[in-house]
Amino acid sequence: MNEIIDQIATKAGISPDIAEKAVGMMLGFLQREAPDGPVTKMIDAIPGASDLVAQYNGEETSGGGLLGGLLNAVGAGGGLMALGQSLMSSGLDMGQISSLAKETIATARVHAGDEVVDQVVNSVPGLSQFL
């Protein structure tokens, strides 16, 4: 997994430590939000991804701050917004988050295939606009 994280970090222009945490958080988010079958296939296909999810899955669930609370109050869930806020609190800006998301999905496509990744991406409302 270190080689994969290093490649994603280099392409996204961030440190490998931050990339590792962010990729784990993103995959954990997808594991919670996408249907079990396709997302499990995708995560299992990426070497070491299951370990990252296990390590960082809880990082994103801190409530999303005021905006996340407001979105929850109006029924919007705040899923992507809460993830974005958590990633920003890890020191990433929106451009880096976008790059990281694109590189993570590109890596998933290499390992799991387009069909599986498309099922995951298309099942999470609003995700495709960031990719």
> What string of pLDDT tens digits covers the 131 residues of the chain?
899 999 999 999 999 999 999 999 999 999 999 999 999 999 999 999 999 999 987 654 444 444 444 444 443 445 788 888 889 998 999 999 999 999 999 999 999 999 999 999 999 988 888 78
Buried b (16+ CB within 10 A) or exposed e, 42-52: bbebbeebeeb
Structure tokens at 100: 């990281």
Structure tokens at 20: 């590792």
pTM over 0.85: no
Alpha-carbon distance values, 4 to 1, 16, 73, 77, 118 (Å): 5, 10, 38, 31, 20
Compute how many other C-beta atoms are within 10 angstroms of the C-beta atom of residue 67.
Answer: 14
